[in-house]
Amino acid sequence: MVFASLEFLTLFLPAFLFLYALTPKAHRNAVLMFSSWVFYGWWSPLLLMLFIALILVGWIGGMAIDATRTPRQRMGMLAAFIGINLAVLCWYKYANILVETLNQVLAWRGAMPIGWEKIVLPIGLSFIVLQSISYLIDVQRRVVPADRSLINFGAYQAMFVHLIAGPIIRYDWVARELRERTVDWPQFTQGARRFMIGFSMKVLVADTLSPLVQTAFSLPSPSLADAWLGCLAYSLQLFFDFAGYSAMAIGLGLMLGFHFPENFNHPYLARSIQDFWRRWHLSLSSWLRDYLYIPLGGNRKGAVRTYINLLLTMAIAGLWHGGDNWNYLLWGIAHGLALAITRLWNDAALPDPPELLSRVLTLLFVMLAWTLFRSHTFDSALAMYAGQFGLNGYALGDALRVELRLAHFLALALGLACIVYPLLDARLARGGRPGWLLVWDGSWPVAGFLLGFALIASRGAVPFLYFQF
């Protein structure tokens, strides 16, 4: 079950909201937790057991760390419970690729491969583990007290509104609202509007571009036009898919009384790669900074150590994104190198390039890196790069020519409007808003939602891209 599906929109969500509204405030966390278990168990009751076990590990771990008094014992307890979480994550996420890589080495040496049945990655496991680790570290740092209520902690860890693909919510951000929160009609309608906007981003833009992306990245020898069209389509698809999910999660949170932070801030308008990571997947960026980069030493131990920390942090970020091929690791290393070079440039007090050039160069690097991120194998990434540099000709191929439809151009127009309109909105507000614009503000999310609902009713739901991470 996904947010952009008939099951969720017509069955689960109405039933949950009805039950949630009828439940006294003191028991709403229990309703939220058990409903989230139903939501997660819709995929696999067996994996739900693993999910519940991880919740128990986080809850028990927090109390165990809080009860330990000496700093050394607290660190030992923290390491033990983080180790449990990482062991589960590494088994499900990296066992397949490690065995596959080992079998390739054995085949190269003429030895028999290891018999292996692929392990299925549980949906949302990476996000669940990062939330648990941040909670345990915050308890160890005494940023938050250990939650003694299994219901409250379970509601935080299991909350279906952001469970599958983020944002990565820290316990400290919602601790007060877990204990006491209110929902009024203006906040509920604001959340519903945000949900509809995210739904439109996902269904109208990302899902419409999906066939075009699939065709482009499946070509054995894409031309320059094929490769760049596919890369542009994927860059838009990934943003509107993930930002759309985050908007839906934030909207659902508001409908339930929770205030989640924004997860995107116009990342494709970034002026540098550093600026990009201040705008893209903000909950992950801040997590990497606070729980990985700074504990490694950050920029406090000299220039060389700073560059190493940047590379290591981004390499781990790349590995976190996927375990079915090594392209994610290479993608993370590429971003780490770009961050290190940008920092070296700034430390050398070299002049900043013109703003427009800097935005174009940043977007170009991000898109080239997305090519590696999207390709299923390193060889297919090399084929796309060959096309992007014109090594396979320049004209648009027949496969993409057939795939291109009016719907894709409309999706592109909608996508650009979703990026540009919020930037213009503030300027329009300062100058006074005409009546037609006020009507448009209130009606376009509903119109987009109804159109998107009609599309999923006719063609079915398309999974979110970040489910695989």
The string of pLDDT tens digits covering residues 159-210 is 999 887 779 999 999 999 999 998 889 999 999 999 998 998 898 888 888 9
- CA trace torsion 22, 24, 25, 27 (10° rounding): -100
The runs of H, that is alpha helices, within 222-377 are 224-256, 273-277, 282-288, 303-321, 327-347, 355-374
Q: Which of 55-64, 145-154, 298-307 has the lowest mean pLDDT?
A: 298-307
Cα–Cα nearest to 124, from 153, 173, 161: 161
φ, ψ dihedrals at 327, nearest 5°: -60, -35
Position 441 pLDDT exceeds 90: no
Percent of the chain at pLDDT above 70? 92
Cα–Cα nearest to 123, from 214, 2, 235, 284: 2
Q: What is the pLDDT of residue 423?
A: 54
Q: What is the pTM of this model?
A: 0.91
Cα–Cα nearest to 276, from 395, 368, 150: 368
The residues carrying an active-site annotation are 321
Query: Which residue do the tokens 């990434």 mark?
Result: 381
182 token code pair: 């209110």
Angle 377-379-385 (CA atoms, 0-180°, nearest 5)?
110
Cα gap 365→232, rounded to integer Å: 12
Is the previous residue joined to 113 through a cis bond, with omega within 30 degrees of 0? no
Handedness of CA 459, 461, 464, 468 (dihedral sign): negative
Cα gap 302→296, rounded to integer Å: 12
The string of pLDDT tens digits covering residues 79-105 is 999 999 999 999 999 998 899 889 888
- Within 10 A of 24 (CB to CB), how many other CB atoms are there? 7
- CA trace torsion 450, 410, 465, 362 (10° rounding): -140
pLDDT range class, residue 436, cuts 50, 70, 90: very low
396 token code pair: 């648009």
- Residues 241-256 have a mean pLDDT of 94
User: Domain residues of the chain, as ranges?
Assistant: 6-181, 188-407
Q: Are 328 and 322 in contact (CB under 8 A)?
A: yes
Query: Which residue do the tokens 């002026």 mark?
Result: 271
